[in-house]
Structure 1
Amino acid sequence: MNEQRKDILDMLAAGKITVDEAEQLIAALERDQPPVATLPEARPKGKPKYLRVLVDTLEGGEPGRVNVRVPLQLLRAGVKLVALIPPQALQHANAEMHKSGVPFDLTQLKPEQLEALIEHLDEMTVDVDQPDAKVRVFCE
């Protein structure tokens, strides 16, 4: 509550002005104040805290939805832990992932690359093979 509004309410409480006069004064205060910008574009973006994956699909005529929210601190910690894994174990993990159809090389995962990805991953839509499915990946 601003100081002028408080003064008006104090005068009303003390019986110095009537309720109608208080309403008129408060209305005049509101007219004199500049409008406050509340558009999301007017606010600076904060540091993202979560990686969000949303999947909307119609499978068998039924709508399906996946909504995953992963804390970015967990991803950062995971990337840092990769540095502690012995090279032989990384090679074995990479080989198993390739066998499972996941062509990902853990040895190429670096913390500074993750931060760059987070900075640039404002919002991205991923196309999938099904025409009735939509996948969105973004940071919030």
Structure 2
Amino acid sequence: MNDERMQVLQMVASGQVTAEEGGFLLAALDHDGAPAAGGDAVAAQGRPRYLRVMVTEHGEHGKKVNVRVPIQLLRAGVKLGTMLPDQAKDKVNDALRQKGAAFDISGLKAEDLDLLLEHLDDLTVDVEGDKSSTVRFSVER
């Protein structure tokens, strides 16, 4: 048994994650090593239905966030964003810049979301700050 699987099992045993979340993490680990038939993971498994974001803090308390966002909601948001007046887009872009995210929402298109989801099959980001945390993004079909 590899270290990552053992770590997930220990997190379940200590109550840091539920058994369901542990199963999700184990399935994601299994998916990492299994190539999709035909070479295209998205085509082989169908269209993505949910974006899952899980945040786990390492340490004593192991506080976590577990959010499952329907992809249709993201698509609707992208479509609504195209209907915003230019003045509103400028205000949103200014607010994003103030928060440190230099991003222009007027350039966001539905095709960009599809492309992002194709490449976001399983992404883990380690965050260092006051407490060390791991943020995991994955797509569920």
Q: TM-score range by the shorter chain?
A: 0.5 to 0.7
Task: Tell me which amino acid in the other structure corresponds to 2:73.
Answer: L
The percent of aligned pairs where both chains have the same amino acid is 46
Residue 121 of structure 1 pairs with residue 120 of structure 2: yes
Question: Is this contact kept in 1: 2:126–2:132, CA < 8 A?
Answer: no
The Cα shift of 1:104 comes to 2.4
- Report which of the two structures shows the higher radius of gyration computed on alpha carbons: 1
> Which residue number in structure 1 is paired with residue 73 of structure 2?
74
The Cα shift of 1:57 comes to 0.7
Q: TM-score, normalised by structure 2?
A: 0.63
Q: 1:96, 1:124 → 2: CA distance? A: 26
When residues 132 and 92 of structure 1 are mapped into structure 2, their CA distance, relative to the original with a 3 A threshold, is closer
Task: Tell me which amino acid in the other structure corresponds to 1:52.
Answer: R
> Which residue number in structure 1 is paired with residue 53 of structure 2?
53
Per-residue CA deviations over 1:60-79 (Å, capped at 9, x if unaligned) read x3121110000000000000
The Cα shift of 1:49 comes to 0.3
Q: TM-score, normalised by structure 1?
A: 0.63
What value does the CA root-mean-square deviation take over the aligned residues? Answer: 2.3
Q: 1:126, 1:82 → 2: CA distance? A: 27
Per-residue CA deviations over 1:20-44 (Å, capped at 9, x if unaligned) read xxxxxxxxxxxxxxxxxxx985884
More helix by share: 2
Question: Is this contact kept in 1: 2:51–2:139, CA < 8 A?
Answer: yes
Q: 2:57, 2:122 → 1: CA distance? A: 19
When residues 98 and 64 of structure 1 are mapped into structure 2, their CA distance, relative to the original with a 3 A threshold, is same
Give ranges in structure 2 of 5+ residues lacking alignment: 1-29, 38-43
> What are the residue-to-residue correspondences of 1:16-95 with 2, within 5 Å?
44-58=44-58, 61-95=60-94
